[in-house]
Chain A
Amino acid sequence: GEDVEQSLFLSVREGDSSVINCTYTDSSSTYLYWYKQEPGAGLQLLTYIFSNMDMKQDQRLTVLLNKKDKHLSLRIADTQTGDSAIYFCAEKGSSNTGKLIFGQGTTLQVKP
């Protein structure tokens, strides 16, 4: 079945880079997403990558996709205290339901 795994916690110092990793099992995934959730709030789409791409950069965010290993990562450059949140990796499979499968979420703690 479809499964998405993430590490649960990451702590970095302000100004450092953060790298959040995700693995998935569905080789037919078409799109992979990174969402941010702040306390008590819904999810905000940060970025996404199509499965035929290796890398996507958007300002401080860099997404790397290794389709062979089914590994996705999100790098946040110059991490700020405002980046503290839970980050979810999600995949959209090949079915036409639009259903997303989410990982458990990685809590990013940014220390001043």
Chain B
Amino acid sequence: GAVVSQHPSRVICKSGTSVKIECRSLDFQATTMFWYRQFPKQSLMLMATSNEGSKATYEQGVEKDKFLINHASLTLSTLTVTSAHPEDSSFYICSARDLPLAGVGVYNEQFFGPGTRLTVL
């Protein structure tokens, strides 16, 4: 299957700093990337959908000014956590798919990155 990488895999930062997480599709072009957040022993919560060349669509309750998403190329999306606080500590996972927006009944797999563990002190 297709490979998605994330960098860094683990980051520790001080409160008030900004952290950038990269999500790359290594062997395919990803027109759409998704950013999830996962708390310990909990499910994945979709934060936003990122389409190449356009603004991200954020889920309800996700602060777009705090979680900046950029999808400038077909193989790279970045999530920047601005002015991080301890409550932003979490496991952030991205996924990517290689098809344009599809209608009902069309299968399109999401390929997941290995995740980034963010700890804010």
| Residues of A in contact with B (beta carbons under 8 Å apart) | 28, 30-31, 35, 40-45, 48, 50, 88, 94, 96-100, 102-105, 107
Contact = CB atoms under 8 A, between A and B. Distances in A.
Contact of B43 (A41, A44, A96, A105): A105
A67 B44 CA distance: 24
Interface of B: 1, 4, 6, 32, 34, 41-44, 46, 49, 57, 93, 95, 97, 101-105, 107-115, 117
Contacts, number: 63
Contacts of B34: 98-100
A104 B43 CA distance: 4
A105 B36 CA distance: 15
Nearest to B59: A99
Contacts of A40: 115, 117
Given A44-B112, A98-B108, A98-B110, A104 B42 contact: yes
A96 B102 CA distance: 5
A39 to B, nearest CB: 11
Contacts of A42: 4, 6, 93, 112-115
